[in-house]
Chain A
């Protein structure tokens, strides 16, 4: 420990925050929270049963698309995703400085294209909804879209450009968080599965790791799609989170002659071009539990939808295929805040937004654990929103008793 870290730790103690925090899961959530707490001088241990990032965090596409992804029914979530988008540039700068790594942030924006008149009608409906929420989106003609991305096949019916929806290389992000966290004094334990939550006297006391126990003043549940399954979680603290399967693949473009500059959404697919030449193609959304298989139908649907807009992909080599599990809460919004059990904190349920929300998650949980005032945008995203039945069945006339 450097003298500065030692001094910070003393300060943290003086503020009566917890001195030792144990975190379950080394995805972007667990590592981001760990980094912020370690920066504040707290002693942090992150336990990861596999490798850091091996859950959803390495599987993601890294889109920071608060704008074009906003759907009816998710108006409340928008406040949070917009905050994520706003915090990202400063978060990137600080993280790159702390880790010495680039996170591959690209700010060329996101283009959404419609290929048929029906697609254009759907896109118009969605865009009007999004513009009604104050999002800045430009409606383009097909030829304007093709001027931005000349490899697009002719026959684009309409398009929308969002200049503020960017992307980051989520795998580089995991590596950078890992370094920043350990450089700030945090301890990362990879290949260490947490086998239970330890609680005593109505408080979380630490974690069980096979035969060993690890004591802590606070425990953070950041185990992604597996968060519900941690043994020893009291029933009232089992978050309503399930895995939502996503199949993806990457093609290898010539980095000097990429087929795309911007993130592209087309009917049935999105494409994310990386600086290293990888073209990410995603993603299926499947209610298949933890079934990790790549299916013919899944890959076919992604490739077919891609070929319809970007025919030049036919010559590209397939670089990689994979499956990830989105940690999806019942309302698709993250669950951030104190559990029922004292000393237990939830940081899960991010669904398809965990990369976008990484700066928010890190700030929200570290502020809360250190007893700092909460950011106003966080109101309503705690675990307590699921505690009471969201809507008593009798309230809806005609519902089954």
Chain B
């Protein structure tokens, strides 16, 4: 039997997510786009238990106004601005500066899309942008490919966490390459947050079982038939997957092993 190193649950039940020295109780990070309306968005995010909520700052006014999404979310959650819609390093830097000025946070989910059709990240620019932004004092969480080497390079560049995709944004295909995600989790010196592609609750649980520190999701909740109910399912799935990871799963066997006791056959 192979022995893998498993994190152990601390007896106190405290199992916080740590990113850049800060602790979070929830391991689900929620997006704020695509909901049918703002009431559903607020109800769903509340049901998800998320503490961190991403906002696409290029798609909204940063001035803030009553009843606007930034005001409503900012009163309730810690905002994680993202650079959605940016395609060049320069765009991303500018957007990051704007976000820091108006939202008063130096945390940033860095998105640099290399191709509009597939929405895959542009890894070359991502590493450079991460390095630059870290130098500028940002806490950078890059959205990246499920490529173990790219994830290592991003961590080297100073990323506070890496956010590999499970499958293309909004596709709901779940984890297309769970082996890569597992390798990334095993190797990464920084927390791994699975981002993009989650379709339903079992995908989120699976990501946590593979060793992800957290899951980031948006479309799977916002576009579900019932976003609020799906948000609750995701909260439970993330918690269940995390607990299963900590508990340590049994080995996979090729043959059945009866679960009724066979006393006296082997052993003492």
Interface residues of A (CB under 8 A from B): 71-74, 129, 228, 238, 240-242, 286-291, 328, 330-332, 351, 390-391, 393, 395-400
* Contact present for A400 and B61 (CB under 8 Å): no
Q: Which chain B positions have C-beta within 8 A of A397?
A: 49, 235
Q: Within 8 Å of chain A (Cβ to Cβ): is B37?
A: yes
Given A73-B227, A242-B66, A287-B68, residue A330 in contact with residue B39 (CB < 8 A): yes
Known: A328-B37, A331-B37. 4 other contacts (CB 8 A): A228-B67, A287-B69, A330-B38, A331-B40
* Contact present for A398 and B235 (CB under 8 Å): yes
Q: Which chain B positions have C-beta within 8 A of A399?
A: 46, 49
Sample of 26 A–B contacts (CB below 8 Å) = A72-B36, A72-B223, A73-B35, A73-B36, A228-B67, A238-B66, A241-B67, A242-B65, A286-B60, A287-B61, A287-B68, A287-B69, A288-B61, A289-B63, A289-B65, A291-B61, A330-B67, A331-B37, A332-B38, A390-B42, A391-B42, A396-B47, A396-B49, A397-B49, A398-B26, A398-B49
- How many Å from the CB of B86 to the closest CB on chain A? 13
CB < 8 Å neighbour of A330 from B37, B47, B63, B226: B37
Alpha-carbon gap, A393 to B42, bound state (A): 10
Contact with A along B18-48 (1 / 0, CB 8 A): 0000000110000000011111101100110
Question: Taking CB as reference atom, which chain A residue is nearest B232?
Answer: A396
Q: Within 8 Å of chain A (Cβ to Cβ): is B262?
A: no
Given A289-B68, A396-B46, residue A331 in contact with residue B227 (CB < 8 A): no
Given A287-B60, A288-B60, A400-B76, residue A73 in contact with residue B67 (CB < 8 A): no
Helix, strand, loop or mixed for chain A's interface? loop
Alpha-carbon gap, A399 to B24, bound state (A): 11
Alpha-carbon gap, A257 to B68, bound state (A): 43
Q: Which 3 A-B pairs have the closest CB atoms?
A: A398-B49, A73-B36, A242-B67
Helix, strand, loop or mixed for chain B's interface? loop
Q: Within 8 Å of chain A (Cβ to Cβ): is B179?
A: no
Q: Which chain A positions have C-beta within 8 A of B51?
A: 400
Residues of B within 8 A of A (CB-CB), count = 33
* Contact present for B68 and A393 (CB under 8 Å): no
Alpha-carbon gap, A324 to B33, bound state (A): 21
Question: Taking CB as reference atom, which chain B residue is nearest A385?
Answer: B39
Question: Taking CB as reference atom, which chain A residue is nearest B43?
Answer: A391
Q: Within 8 Å of chain A (Cβ to Cβ): is B93?
A: no
Q: Which chain B positions have C-beta within 8 A of A74?
A: 36-37
Q: Which chain B positions have C-beta within 8 A of A395?
A: 46
- How many Å from the CB of A377 to the closest CB on chain B? 19
- Tell which of A228, A240, A328, A396 has the most Cβ of chain B within 10 Å: A396
* Contact present for B66 and A72 (CB under 8 Å): no
Given A332-B36, A390-B42, A396-B47, residue A240 in contact with residue B67 (CB < 8 A): yes
- Tell which of A73, A287, A396, A399 has the most Cβ of chain B within 10 Å: A73
Interface residues of B (CB under 8 A from A): 25-26, 35-40, 42-43, 46-47, 49, 51, 59-61, 63, 65-69, 72, 76-77, 223-227, 232, 235
Q: Which chain A positions have C-beta within 8 A of B61?
A: 287-289, 291
- How many Å from the CB of A303 to the closest CB on chain B? 16
Q: Which chain A positions have C-beta within 8 A of B225?
A: 72, 129
Alpha-carbon gap, A74 to B35, bound state (A): 11
Alpha-carbon gap, A241 to B39, bound state (A): 12
Q: Which chain A positions have C-beta within 8 A of B59?
A: 286-287
Q: Which chain A positions have C-beta within 8 A of B223?
A: 72
- Tell which of B37, B60, B68 has the most Cβ of chain A within 10 Å: B37
* Contact present for A331 and B39 (CB under 8 Å): yes
Alpha-carbon gap, A242 to B43, bound state (A): 18
- Tell which of A390, A391, A398 has the most Cβ of chain B within 10 Å: A398
Question: Taking CB as reference atom, which chain A residue is nearest B70?
Answer: A287
Alpha-carbon gap, A133 to B46, bound state (A): 27
Alpha-carbon gap, A332 to B67, bound state (A): 12
- How many Å from the CB of A137 to the closest CB on chain B? 17
Question: Taking CB as reference atom, which chain B residue is nearest A71?
Answer: B36
* Contact present for A73 and B37 (CB under 8 Å): yes
Alpha-carbon gap, A393 to B49, bound state (A): 10
Question: Taking CB as reference atom, which chain A residue is nearest B72?
Answer: A330
Question: Taking CB as reference atom, which chain A residue is nearest B38?
Answer: A330
Q: Which chain A positions have C-beta within 8 A of B72?
A: 330
CB < 8 Å neighbour of B43 from A286, A291, A390: A390
Alpha-carbon gap, A250 to B43, bound state (A): 37
- How many Å from the CB of A221 to the closest CB on chain B? 15
Alpha-carbon gap, A398 to B42, bound state (A): 14
* Contact present for A331 and B38 (CB under 8 Å): yes
- How many Å from the CB of A280 to the closest CB on chain B? 24
Q: Which chain B positions have C-beta within 8 A of A291?
A: 61
- How many Å from the CB of A226 to the closest CB on chain B? 12
Alpha-carbon gap, A42 to B228, bound state (A): 45
* Contact present for B68 and A332 (CB under 8 Å): no
* Contact present for B77 and A400 (CB under 8 Å): yes
- How many Å from the CB of A329 to the closest CB on chain B? 8
Question: Taking CB as reference atom, which chain B residue is nearest A118?
Answer: B171
Alpha-carbon gap, A290 to B42, bound state (A): 23
- How many Å from the CB of B76 to the closest CB on chain A? 7
CB < 8 Å neighbour of A242 from B40, B46, B68, B235: B68
Alpha-carbon gap, A291 to B40, bound state (A): 25
Question: Taking CB as reference atom, which chain A residue is nearest B44?
Answer: A73
* Contact present for B37 and A398 (CB under 8 Å): no
Q: Which chain B positions have C-beta within 8 A of A390?
A: 39, 42-43
- How many Å from the CB of B1 to the closest CB on chain A? 36
Alpha-carbon gap, A5 to B219, bound state (A): 56
* Contact present for B39 and A393 (CB under 8 Å): no
Q: Which chain B positions have C-beta within 8 A of A290?
A: 65
Alpha-carbon gap, A288 to B37, bound state (A): 16
CB < 8 Å neighbour of B25 from A129, A289, A398: A398
Question: Taking CB as reference atom, which chain A residue is nearest B60?
Answer: A287
Q: Which chain B positions have C-beta within 8 A of A242?
A: 65-68
- How many Å from the CB of B221 to the closest CB on chain A? 11
